[in-house]
Structure 1
Amino acid sequence: MNHGLMDDSQSRQGSDMDPNASLFEPVDRFRRGLGVWFDLTGFGPEETPFRTAMSEPGLTLRSYSPTSGAGPVLLIVPAPIKRAYIWDLVPWASVVRRGLASGLSVYLAYWERPGRIESEFGLADYADRLIVDCVEAIGKEQGNGPVFLAGHSLGGTFATFFAALHPGSVRGLVLLGAPLHFGPDVGPIDRWAAMAPPAQISTAAGHPVAGSLLSGLSFLADPLTFGWLRISDGLRSLSDSRALRTHLAVERWACDEMPMAPALFGEIVEWLYREDRFMRGSLSIGGHRVAPELVESPLLSVVDPHCRVVPPQAVLPFHQAARSRDATVLRYGGDIGVSLQHVGMLVGREAHRTLWPEIMRWLHAHGK
């Protein structure tokens, strides 16, 4: 599947309209070309066949299951950075395939590259309206009723906000390395966000924030995680063919930069990373308050004690403040062959050997 050339004309258009975007367009174009090279040499993703259940500006809802009669419904909410196929990377490192094999009805909210319309989208869209549309589309196929939500990184943040806004729509919440508490004492990215210039400087032109800019900012915030540790993982994977294949697939995925809607970028940086509004109870989305104590559904959180991108202290304070009476914490210890340890809980061999079977048991136990 050729992800590298998708929306290239759109990127050129954005470059012509926005002088600031042109600075990063050559980098984005090079990385897309590098992604094509990965595909041609056999290191691209191997995605599970799917059908489109619903499509609208900013989102395509993928279904991997029959239109009715399947098991408990799992809606995956990815992060808005890079492409969502990290959840379905290769057959042995695919949460989608594992969910299907366990008898779940699996859907994936596949964020699309923001264009003119989506540039105005913020948390009210990504954490509320678009997920509502997914749940309604699923209801037409599977019958109305609450669904399980699973989210990794900022996708888990979105899923949590949705659960706070729509408690009756969520049967259970699975969060994997999802940041919900922010502050300079939490981790390198939070410390960088506290010292960086206001987000409005990057969003003033009103065009999507370039994917390569987001990657560059991540590297500046934590060069150890996004630099040396990736190289080290590749070197340690050389003696293990499957680990090396997974490592290269993640590296190919890392070339698939997703620009971010400027409104969303500004709200994430200012409202979350700088002001920690959610944990402080002062976050408002669409005129409705969003706070930890409004999350009532059964809750399973996965933390990685060694992760610098989303350390446990970014997750556990929320876990303790949520109103959920049924709350579980699982710890993931890392893997070789995942390039970025932050995504290891989605693609790592040890994660799929021990972590995901336990998550599947939890989903089925709460789906009865």
Structure 2
Amino acid sequence: MDTSPTPALSALAQGNAAPQHGPRPLPLFLNILWHETEDDPELRKRAFQGLRRYQEASRPPPSCMPPVAASAGSARLLRYGTEKGRNPVVFIPSLINPPQVLDLSATRSMLRHMGAAGHDAYLVDWGAPAGDDSALGLDRHVTERLLPMLAALPRPPILVGYCLGGNLAIGAAALQPAKALATIAAPWNFDGFPPTDREEIGALWRSSKPMCQRLGYVPMEVMQSGFWAMDPSRTIRKYAAFADMAAGSDDEHAFLAVEDWANAGPPLSYAAGRDLFEQFYAANASGRGDWHIGGQVIDPHRLTCPTLSIRSATDRIVPAAASPEMAESRTLNLGHVGMIVGSGARALLWEPLSRWLSSHGG
């Protein structure tokens, strides 16, 4: 019997391999793959080839962690810039998936770009909920995690929130003075989502809620299942396309980095997941002006600081119609993740946003 290690096991021994059971959850991914390719055997073959290539590819060692400027509970504030007498700029990612999408690699990092451009840039890393954090809702992520870290900064910050982080940034700006606020693909008005998407997500939560309530958290796989359901064809076709990418190319490295990010991440606390599914997706509390933190209504129209809403015309995860209305708005023809790390991100988002930050003291 041949006992030599497989390529996958060899990669694991090197310590730089992908999770061998990814994408997460793998059984659901395989079910989608089989269903989406039942009439196209060539697509099925290439999708399986792309999946195997993804699982067996080696990864570069992780980069060094930026210094920690402040912490609150499991959350940390990572620093990418240096203080130059300007207002700090705090980038707030979603609670879903890790924050590294904003610092994906040396060539695809919004945070490193902002630091190099002279901004005193910071990134919130929410960390993983502790065992006693099941009651930590979205409101308490603002009051017990985000605001204490912002209070440690020497000047009022400019807040930049991405995806659900935009909602939390709006909440923070409503409770504590901010120099300015920008949101990127933030899901604020949930009536702007296609009804079929909201129904699909509602059904997912109804089936998952009892298990999540017993666990005290919402596993990342629950959220991933919802994302895949929005566009199952694209989920499979991107793996088929990966099978044909040139080895060692920038496209290959970008695919691996983005997929590793999308398939990683800690769970949500149960209360945060319940708030997201029930208050936001089902009831549209934020869009109707009925989201409260500490008894205060969170309404972006009441903010007195300069505000900017950046949305995407091609976003399947957060449609442009769901983004908050701000004093200024910009619409990009880049997808939800592409606007952050795609080949056009630097010219279409990073550089214009940097100029906007500078114009407001950042």
**Separation in structure 1 between the aligned mates of residue 90 and residue 250 of structure 2, nearest angstrom:** 28
Contact 2:103 2:110 in 1 (8 A): yes
Residues 145-200 of structure 1 show CA distances to partners (whole Å, capped at 9, x for unaligned) of 3211111111111111222233x2x1111211111011385365423234445474
**Offset, 1:353:** 2.4
Match of 1:63 in 2: 79
**Offset, 1:81:** 1.1
Q: Are 2:335 and 1:348 aligned?
A: no
Residues 321-366 of structure 1 show CA distances to partners (whole Å, capped at 9, x for unaligned) of x5xxxx32222223xxxxxx42111111211123211110010011
Match of 1:105 in 2: 120
1:214 to 197, 206, 223: 223
Q: Are 2:283 and 1:266 aligned?
A: no
Q: Are 2:173 and 1:158 aligned?
A: no
Q: Are 2:334 and 1:331 aligned?
A: no
**Offset, 1:210:** 1.1
Q: Return the index of the structure with the highest Cα Rg.
A: 2
Match of 1:203 in 2: 212
Q: Are 2:309 and 1:304 aligned?
A: no
Counterpart amino acid of residue 343 in structure 2: R
**Separation in structure 2 between the aligned mates of residue 300 and residue 45 of structure 1, nearest angstrom:** 33
Q: Which secondary structure does the structure 2 equivalent of 1:191 belong to?
A: helix
Counterpart amino acid of residue 328 in structure 1: E
Contact 1:65 1:106 in 2 (8 A): yes
Change (3 A) 1:212 1:43: farther
Q: Structure 1: which 5+ residue stretches go unaligned?
A: 6-23, 28-33, 335-340
Change (3 A) 1:204 1:354: closer
**Offset, 1:302:** 1.6
Match of 2:299 in 1: 291
Change (3 A) 1:292 1:55: closer
**Separation in structure 2 between the aligned mates of residue 26 and residue 307 of structure 1, nearest angstrom:** 24
Contact 2:114 2:121 in 1 (8 A): yes
**Separation in structure 2 between the aligned mates of residue 57 and residue 352 of structure 1, nearest angstrom:** 33
Contact 1:45 1:89 in 2 (8 A): no
Aligned length: 319
Counterpart amino acid of residue 265 in structure 1: G
Residues 10-55 of structure 1 show CA distances to partners (whole Å, capped at 9, x for unaligned) of xxxxxxxxxxxxxx9998xxxxxx9xx97982356546x5111222
Counterpart amino acid of residue 213 in structure 1: V
More deviation in 299-308 or 193-202? 193-202
Counterpart amino acid of residue 319 in structure 2: P
**Separation in structure 2 between the aligned mates of residue 234 and residue 25 of structure 1, nearest angstrom:** 19
Match of 1:135 in 2: 150
**Separation in structure 2 between the aligned mates of residue 161 and residue 3 of structure 1, nearest angstrom:** 38
Q: TM-score, normalised by structure 2?
A: 0.78
Q: Structure 2: which 5+ residue stretches go unaligned?
A: 1-14, 19-23, 28-50
Change (3 A) 1:186 1:25: closer
